[in-house]
A and B are shown apart, each in its own frame.
Chain A
Amino acid sequence: EVQLLESGGGLVQPGGSLRLSCAASGITFSSYAMSWVRQAPGKGLEWVSSISGSGGSTYDADSVKGRFTISRDNSKNTLYLQMNSLRAEDTAAYYCAKAYCSSTTCYYFDYWGQGTLVTVSS
């Protein structure tokens, strides 16, 4: 059974930093691209960042580019999101999601974690 378990959320002041983690089990973690998707309170879903299975390629939404860094440690089956220069508008539940991909491209998210809440407030 595939399980994705996020951690690391909490309350942080504007301008502060936080690192989220997502521990994966039930999959050969290094074989799969992974992503972070967030959801502000009462709002819809927003893609944040993606990383290839090897970790060699990363992609970010314009809203977080230069502030957030996605990474992974395949030896620990763990995905990370380093969030710097946090703003009030970054307040959201952050989900990690596994992408279903072929050898050349990805299509959709087939597994999601339960999310971790990040609140940016003074």
Chain B
Amino acid sequence: QVLLVQSGAEVKKPGSSVKVSCKASGGTFRNHAINWVRQAPGRGFEWMGGIIPFFGTAKSAEKFQGRVTITADESTSTAYLELRSLRSEDTAVYYCVRILWALMDVWGQGTTVTVSS
């Protein structure tokens, strides 16, 4: 049974950066497709990007290119999402999810990121 545990809530100033972690247990981490999805207050879900640790190359949504970095550390079975140049519109709950056979079947508990001056 795969379990994803994310880091805690963050409060950030506009223009700063945030790095959220997602530690996996169970299964074979290097084969997991770990993706990041966010949910802003009152809005739907937005896919941000993902990585398969075995391949090491991340993909990100066009909207976030240049502002987001997705990485994975096989030694600790942990994936990371870094988002830079934060603005108020980035206030959201950020989820890491495993995608298996095109289904988001395992979700982290979510990390609330609040961007406020």
Q: A and B: real partners?
A: no
Chain A interface (Cβ < 8 Å from any Cβ of B):
none
Chain B interface (Cβ < 8 Å from any Cβ of A):
none
